[in-house]
Amino acid sequence: MTSTGSAKPVVRRQLSRLRLVAQRLAPASQTPPTEVVRWLTCLQAQDFRSARSAVALRAGCTVAEVDVAINAGRIVRSWPMRGTLHLVEPADLRWMLALNAEPTQRAARRRHEQLGIAPRDVDRARSVTTAALQGGRGLDRAGLFALWEQHGIATGAQRGAHLVQTLCLQTHLVLGPVVGRQQRFVLFDDWIETSRPVDRTANVADWALRYFRSHGPATIADFRWWSGVLQRDLAPVWDTVRAELDELVVDGTSYFLAPETLAAWEDSRDVTLRSVLMPAFDELLLGYADRTPTLDRGHADLVVPGGNGMFKATVVDGGHAVATWRRGTRKDGPLVEVSPFAARLSRRAERAVPRLAARYPFD
């Protein structure tokens, strides 16, 4: 493996450990939840419980503190890319949707036809929702569907879910405060008071630079898969972005990362060997098209059974996923139940898991 500029040589098995540093998982930090989300730019959140734990793990705080930031409108949840829910900083959401909403809606057009969702249905849902939620009110998913049904808007057979997503993609709705264990939908313009300017060229450059700073070492293919940004949009700004990054070349493949990540490597390399309990759907895996630096190809089916898109929580040891885990199901049993990929965990991981479970940010 070679590096450019002042980068220090590392080997392939250290790529994931460098990602732990970039993603602020090693060393452990104490930082506001809003700063974690701002740093990662987008944080996978189709499983809301796991997403809140992922933020808390990086912030060194409780899930309740993450909820405080969400309820204050400093973190929101929507579909900014890949047609998948993510946590984002509110000011970033409008320009992200300006880049990605149209392709997501185009991909869903056939399904809308199958469900009998026409533009007039979307317009009707928007009108009813605006009347009900204006003035800062909110409704959870069940309440929103009930409202639509009362006005003759059918929500069965996934119609409701597609209408919700469409209204969010069109910057009409956004997922805001947590009430009980459910997030409520609120009007986008009521909840998000300030948005960064929509400028396609500048936004793509900003998104790319922030991705490689927070997720690197990563490839251009990783970024394009993660963000949905097209090569024709990335190409004009790439030289400007590239000038801010360091490059590592592994087996002929270029990986880009922030100089600060490499600068921190000498002080952090021992810390990155420690075990970590990672939530399901975490950015350490979901943040890349190629996950093999962290998850061996032969173990992928153990984390995503049958390739069904449902990612299990993992134990990461020495920068590599070595097991899946879940919360214990017996009151008199261990706090977490671990399923190792090999016959057993390393001694380091075996010793660490009980301690990590005791301080894991469960909701």
Dump pLDDT digits (tens) for 159-168: 999 999 999 9
Rounded-to-integer distance, Cα 363 and Cα 361, Å: 6
Dump pLDDT digits (tens) for 60-118: 999 999 999 999 999 999 999 999 999 999 999 999 999 999 999 999 999 999 999 99
What is residue 130's predicted lDDT score, i.e. its pLDDT?
97
Rounded-to-integer distance, Cα 41 and Cα 239, Å: 21
CB 336 within 8 A of CB 357: yes
Count of all residues that appear for the chain in the document: 363
What is residue 11's predicted lDDT score, i.e. its pLDDT?
73
Cα 93 → chain centroid: 13
Q: What is the largest CA-CA distance in the chain?
A: 64
What is residue 363's predicted lDDT score, i.e. its pLDDT?
86
Where are the strands (E) in the chain, listed by range?
2-3, 42-44, 76-81, 84-88, 173-179, 182-187, 246-250, 253-257, 276-278, 313-317, 320-327, 336-340
Rounded-to-integer distance, Cα 307 and Cα 305, Å: 5
What is residue 9's predicted lDDT score, i.e. its pLDDT?
54
Q: What percent of the chain has pLDDT over 90?
A: 92
What is residue 10's predicted lDDT score, i.e. its pLDDT?
60
Dump pLDDT digits (tens) for 260-303: 999 999 899 999 999 999 999 999 999 999 999 999 999 999 99
Dump pLDDT digits (tens) for 225-273: 999 999 999 999 999 999 999 999 998 899 999 999 999 998 999 999 9
DSSP per-residue letters across 8-75: PP--GGGHHHHHHHHTT-SS-----HHHHHHHHSEEE-SSHHHHHHHHHHHHTS-HHHHHHHHHTTSS
**Rg of the chain taking only CA atoms, in angstroms:** 21
> For residue 171, what are its two tokens?
């910057």
Band (pLDDT 50/70/90 cuts) for residue 1 is: very low
